[in-house]
Amino acid sequence: MLRITVPNDIQERLHLALMKAGDRECGGVLMGEHVGVNHFAVRELSLQKPGGIASFVRSLTGAVKAIQAFCRARGDNFTRFNYLGEWHSHPLFSVQPSSTDHATMRSLATDVKVGANFAVLLIFRLNSNCKLEGSAHTYLPDGSIYQSVLDLENVQ
């Protein structure tokens, strides 16, 4: 099972993005570092303009530049730093992926053009105490889906 750590600085950015988006869904791509066996840490994320619809529309083309810049800044060390997956918010409902989310991520993970070994989907929302909560799922090229551990480091 994969474990995905979201460090404090990334959590703060998510928190701000979700506050700003309010009832609108927002999201983007995740870039991560391989920090241990089956363990990744989110190091960078992109934020697309929030849309007014509660559906998750991915646009990898808009994110390619962000991914390339992230990798280049880290010496193109692709086994350690790479595209990790996607994130978006569910401001008004549970952080579990919808059937559309599952289908979108499966088609991404099984797309030979993308050539990913796996793709992670993180879904976040702010709970009634305005605290960040979320879920993590991993999608493999063979079409399988695994619930993963979302590790939210505590804000000091």
44 binds Zn ion (CB under 5 A): no
Separation CA 7–CA 140 (nearest Å): 24
Shortest separation between residue 98's beta carbon and Zn ion, angstroms = 5
Shortest separation between residue 72's beta carbon and Zn ion, angstroms = 30
Binding mask 125-144 for Zn ion (x = CB under 5 A): --------------------
Residue selected from 101, 105, 109, 137 as contacting Zn ion according to rule CB under 5 A:
101
Nearer to Zn ion, 51 or 141 (CB): 51
Which residue's Cβ lies closest to Zn ion? 101
Nearer to Zn ion, 2 or 105 (CB): 105
Shortest separation between residue 68's beta carbon and Zn ion, angstroms = 26
56 binds Zn ion (CB under 5 A): yes
The stretch among 56-64, 73-81, 108-116, 139-147 that binds Zn ion (CB under 5 A) is 56-64
Separation CA 50–CA 136 (nearest Å): 21
The neighbouring-strand residues paired with 92 are: none
**Residue 72 contacts residue 44 (beta carbons within 8 Å):** no
Nearer to Zn ion, 81 or 119 (CB): 119
Shortest separation between residue 89's beta carbon and Zn ion, angstroms = 8
Long-range contacts of 98-104 (CB under 8 A, 24+ apart): 98/56, 100/55, 100/56, 101/56, 102/137, 102/145, 104/56, 104/58
**Residue 135 contacts residue 95 (beta carbons within 8 Å):** yes
- Encode burial over 109-126: b for 16+ CB neighbours within 10 A, e otherwise: bbeeeeebebbbbbbbbb
Binding-site ranges for Zn ion (CB under 5 A)? 56, 98, 101
